[in-house]
Structure 1
Amino acid sequence: MSKSWRELTIAFAGIVLATKQVAQLAKTGYLKTDEFETSVRSLFERNPVSTEATYGSGHNLAEAFEELEKLLNNHRDPRNADLLRYVLGVLHLQKKLIKRKEMLYVIGNRLEKAETQAQHFGITHDNVISNIAEIYTDTLSKFPYRIQVTGEATYLQQTRVASQIRVLLLAAIRSATLWRQLGGSRWQLLLYRNQMAKHAHELYLEFKR
């Protein structure tokens, strides 16, 4: 596997990891603590030594690699509709965000403060999650286009769930930024979908627990 394809697939798996949790939260009100921590921590990795280091380890993305392979091979499956919509929505928002330098500055500055708070309280403490969720609300939520999250109203109306979803969407956008920095594009997904699926499968076999 070429280094570039490996890194592109790892970064895209980061998008899938976060959006998969959004779909799960919206429908069940539940998420896996270790996966949530991986996505949140990626927000604070501004200068990682490698693409993999953004997520701590490739092992933390094992299920995301598997999910990415399924999504690429079965993108027309109705069961993947919400996840695909969230992924495409994240790519669209990220493309809008990258043109707004002042908004990027605000997000970066406030994430630095959130990181200091996380060092004191813990990375997934309610105060930290609420703080990061407000960053999303004050910036990305201002765009005319918004990602419509669908699920059970019982869960979506809960403050905790709403905050976690916003944090995960921000984490997904962070991964989308990394993916584009590595050379990722929508055309690449259309033209080389099978190739990325193949690399996702290889990475899953490498890192499965």
Structure 2
Amino acid sequence: MSTTRRQAIALAGVFQAAATVDSLARTGQHDTTAWRTLIDATLDTEPADFESVYGGQLSHLQLGLDTLRRTLDDPSHNAVIARYAMAMLMLMHRLRRDKRMMTTLGERLARVRQQAGHFGPVHENVVASLGELYQDTLSTLPRRIVVQGDPGLLQMPMMPERIRAALLSGIRFAMLWYQMGGRRWHLIFRGGLKRQLDELTR
């Protein structure tokens, strides 16, 4: 698999997280496969290989691939989702410079993985722990992500935790994108990215 293709897949993960955040905030619903893929990727901090991050099936990232492709075709489409995705990339860069926070995330994710081994990865206790981890770490960085949506839904039990868990997963895929050589200028000169997405979404 080429480096550019890996970058496209990782960036699709970021957009899948952004689309999930938007759907939760506006409708209270989420795509089951997309959600499970995001949570699994967050918990798997030491994957056997690149494909393991998303379960080795591109269909697991279909929401992200479709959303990213539509956004590149028409930047005005899904402007809120695009804003969330770009904010996740910016937060990832801030996180990379904070070694203490990186260590904290690694240590606490190890404990959440143990919790997931007992309850299952998408159990509410696990999601609550992931949401709390995001709140204690990434949400303390400058330019925190402000989520727009239905005020009633945003105040429902577990909704803040679900949204924060999805944001954490977006940061995880943003980090993967960076590790694969992804840089923000690639989003400006995006011909190679669009070609890869054309092939991935055929």
TM-score, normalised relative to structure 2: 0.95
Question: Which residue of 153, 168, 192 corresponds with 1:195?
Answer: 192
Deviation at 1:46, TM superposition (A): 1.8
Number of aligned positions between the proteins: 201
**Per-residue deviation, residues 90-141 of structure 1 (Å, max 9, x unmatched):** 0111110100001011111101100110010011111111111110011111
Kept in 2, the 8 Å contact 1:73–1:194? The answer is: no
1:146 equivalent in structure 2:
144
Query: Does residue 40 of structure 1 match 2:35?
Result: no
Structure 1 portions without partners, runs of 5+: none
* Alignment correspondent of 2:86: 88
Asked if the contact 2:34–2:63 (Cα under 8 Å) also holds between the matched residues in 1, the reply is no
Q: Which residue identity lines up with residue 34 of structure 1 in the other structure?
A: T
Letter in 2 for 1:11: A
Equivalent residues of 1:42, 1:55 under 8 A apart:
yes
Structure 2 counterpart of 1:21? 20
Q: Which amino acid aligns with 1:87?
A: A
Per-residue deviation, residues 21-75 of structure 1 (Å, max 9, x unmatched): 0011110000122211100000122222332220102221123212111111111
Amino acid at match of 1:18: A
State the partner residue of 2:163.
165
Alpha-carbon distance, 1:157 to partner: 1.0
1:195 Cα shift? 2.4
Deviation at 1:144, TM superposition (A): 2.4
State the identity %.
35
Unaligned runs of 5+ in 2: none
Q: How far apart are 1:76 and its partner, in Å?
A: 2.3
Letter of the 2:180 partner, please give it: L
Is 1:31 matched with 2:30? Answer: yes
Partner of 1:54: 53
Structure 2 residue matching 1:184: 3-state secondary structure: coil
Q: Within 2, Cα distance between the matches of 1:67 and 1:51?
A: 21
Shift of 1:158: 1.5
Q: Which amino acid aligns with 1:99?
A: R
Alignment check: 8 A CA contact 2:89 2:174 kept: yes
Q: Report the equivalent of 2:76.
A: 76
Which amino acid in 1 is paired with 2:82? L
- Normalization by structure 1: what TM-score? 0.92
Corresponding residue to 1:178 among 168, 176, 181: 176
Name the residue aligned to 1:114: 112
Spell out structure 1 runs of 4+ moving beyond 3 A.
none
